[in-house]
Amino acid sequence: MKIVVVTGSPRKHGNSFAMTDAFIREAERCGHTVKRFDAAFMKIGGCHACQTCFKTGKACSFDDDFNLIAPVILEADAVVFTMPVYWYSIPAQIKGVIDRIYSFCVAGKDISGKKCGLITCCEEQDPTVMDGVRIPVERSAALLKWDIVGEVLVPGVLETGDIDKTNGCRQAAELAHKF
């Protein structure tokens, strides 16, 4: 499968990146082709709701790095979003990517039938803290007719390396086998 991974953490050595790396290593070991985009290190703005998606030949008329990601999503068999929870929600660093997937809907591009995965973590021990990430991703996948094949939801990690005290990286690697 062709899998696109979009990350939403600004910490290159953080907990969600460790799980992302574990997923990618295992996915490639399974024979999948993986293309990774680290949204926090790209120039990606929010949706302008101008409804001119794909009118210029690119996904978005406001030409930024989302236009690098969009064609890869279009051609991918699967999309995996990885991110920490920021203030009980999706981090701004990846939210622009998620919002601008709307461009496919506006332009009538059929991106249904893809597989989707989610890898996320949060500081608090309460797993419902991740609902602010999990529920929007699940609902977006349902709207797009994507099949959620798995979610890795790891509470109780904040400091770099805390993920090593959990089975989060093992869960992320196991997720690769569901694609």
DSSP 40-53: GGS--------S-T
Question: What's the token pair of residue 34?
Answer: 């993986």
- Measure Cα distances from 36 to 84, 112, 113, 172 in Å: 16, 21, 20, 15
Question: What's the token pair of residue 84?
Answer: 């920490």
What's the pLDDT tens digit per position in 76-91?
999 999 999 999 999 9
Q: What's the confidence (pLDDT) of residue 114?
A: 98
Stretch 160-167: mean pLDDT, rounded? 98
Confidence of residue 19 (pLDDT cuts 50, 70, 90): very high
pTM above 0.95, yes or no: yes
The domain that contains 20 carries what CATH number?
3.40.50.360
Residues 121 and 87 sit within 8 Å (Cβ to Cβ): no
Q: What's the confidence (pLDDT) of residue 110?
A: 95
Domain count within the chain: 1
Give the residue numbers spanning the domain of 157: 2-176
* Torsion angle of C-alpha atoms 72, 73, 79, 84, degrees rounded to 10: 90
Question: What's the token pair of residue 56?
Answer: 């210029």
